[in-house]
């Protein structure tokens, strides 16, 4: 789609230093077949801004949508990680067009935590639309890992206030973790395939915990952020929550890692 625009932006360290390149890919942890070109977030953001200002911006986004549709038909990941990221950033930068419709087309295509979170970070416009919470509510009920993570991280980033806090807690409590499909293997799944060591390499589709790991980590992050802003309410919710034990352990870890909550009791 926009490979020719991204190529000059690839980090020199990514091009020339294998250790740096491997570390970059390891952080992103793409699914097998999703190319990582090695462009930094500020450069992708600047490119997205320039593309969103063009008269053919809607056509560029339509091109991304067509590429994603072809991916679904062929089973091949044709868009690079950076193209997926710029696509979302463009939606956030547009001043015209039906962004809600574009969002609905985009969210089901997200297959990575970094793409999800970079999109959500710039999507403050979403809450301003009527019915935004109802749209999120549908994603909370999804059976797809990154649609649910989108709902969780969007709630944390743009709805975490006294008005929505009870609704967020209620939706977190009703996430059907066993019913969520993940394309990532957990450590036990990798071991079961007999390729545990090889599968630990980035881009092999293995998460650091059991699926749906990226939903679980999103919930833990959301709770740790809620603890920082609303400690009494968060602890009150956790006294009677239905969250799985592994999510609670991740939450405690996130709370202890954050300078805002490392001295605050998580329960």
**CATH class as words, domain 126-267:** mainly alpha
Report which DSSP code applies to 202. T
Residue 12's pLDDT band (boundaries 50, 70, 90)? very high
**What would the pLDDT profile of 90-119 be if each residue is shown by its tens digit?**
999 998 889 999 999 999 999 999 999 999
Which residues, 6 or more positions from 163, have their beta carbon under 8 angstroms from its beta carbon?
none
Q: Where in the chain is the domain with CATH 1.25.40?
A: 126-267
Q: How many Å apart are CA 63 and CA 87, to the nearest integer?
A: 10
Residue located via tokens 């059976």: 143
Which residues, 6 or more positions from 213, have their beta carbon under 8 angstroms from its beta carbon?
182, 184, 186, 207
Nearest to 152, CA basis, from 195, 103, 215, 99: 215
Q: How many Å apart are CA 123 and CA 243, to the nearest integer?
A: 27
Cis peptide before 22 (omega within 30 of 0): no
Residue pair 180/214 in contact (Cβ under 8 Å)? The answer is no
pTM over 0.75: yes
Percent of the chain with pLDDT over 90: 89
Cα–Cα–Cα angle for 9, 122, 33, nearest 5°? 50
The average confidence (pLDDT) of the chain is 94
Residue pair 107/62 in contact (Cβ under 8 Å)? The answer is no
Query: Residue 21: phi, psi to the nearest 5?
Result: -60, -45
The pLDDT score that the predictor gives to residue 195 is 57
267, two tokens: 């329960």
Residue pair 175/141 in contact (Cβ under 8 Å)? The answer is no
**What would the pLDDT profile of 147-201 be if each residue is shown by its tens digit?**
999 999 999 999 999 999 999 999 999 999 999 999 999 988 877 766 555 455 5
The pLDDT score that the predictor gives to residue 188 is 84
Q: How many Å apart are CA 109 and CA 104, to the nearest integer?
A: 9
By CB atoms closer than 10 A (0-12, 13-18, 19+), residue 259 is exposed
The pLDDT score that the predictor gives to residue 194 is 65
Which residues, 6 or more positions from 91, have their beta carbon under 8 angstroms from its beta carbon?
61, 99, 102, 103, 106, 119, 123
**What would the pLDDT profile of 64-76 be if each residue is shown by its tens digit?**
999 999 999 999 9
Residue pair 123/154 in contact (Cβ under 8 Å)? The answer is yes
The pLDDT score that the predictor gives to residue 97 is 80
148, two tokens: 């649910």
Length of the chain: 267
């Amino acid at each position: 789609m926009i490979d020719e625009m991204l190529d000059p932006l690839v980090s020199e360290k990514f091009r020339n230093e294998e250790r740096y390149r491997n570390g970059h890919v390891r952080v992103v942890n793409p699914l097998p077949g999703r190319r990582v070109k090695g462009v930094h977030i500020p450069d992708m953001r600047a490119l997205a801004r320039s593309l969103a200002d063009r008269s053919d911006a809607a056509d560029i986004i339509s091109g991304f949508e067509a590429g994603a549709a072809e991916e679904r038909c062929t089973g091949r990941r044709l868009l690079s990680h950076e193209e997926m990221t710029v696509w979302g950033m463009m939606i956030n930068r547009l001043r015209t067009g039906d962004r809600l419709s574009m969002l609905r087309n985009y969210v089901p295509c997200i297959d990575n935590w970094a793409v999800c979170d970079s999109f959500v970070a710039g999507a403050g416009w979403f809450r301003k639309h009527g019915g935004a919470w109802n749209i999120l509510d549908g994603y909370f009920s999804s059976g797809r890992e990154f649609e649910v993570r989108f709902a969780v991280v969007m709630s944390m980033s743009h709805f975490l206030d006294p008005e929505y806090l009870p609704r967020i807690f209620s939706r977190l409590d009703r996430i059907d973790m066993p019913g969520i499909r993940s394309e990532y293997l957990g450590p036990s799944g990798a071991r079961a395939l007999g390729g545990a060591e090889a599968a630990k390499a980035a881009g092999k589709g293995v998460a650091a915990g059991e699926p749906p790991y990226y939903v679980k980590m999103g919930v833990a992050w959301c709770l740790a952020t809620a603890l920082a802003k609303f400690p009494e309410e968060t602890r009150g919710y956790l006294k009677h929550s239905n969250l799985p034990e592994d999510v609670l352990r991740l939450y405690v870890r996130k709370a202890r890692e954050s300078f805002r909550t490392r001295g605050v009791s998580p329960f």
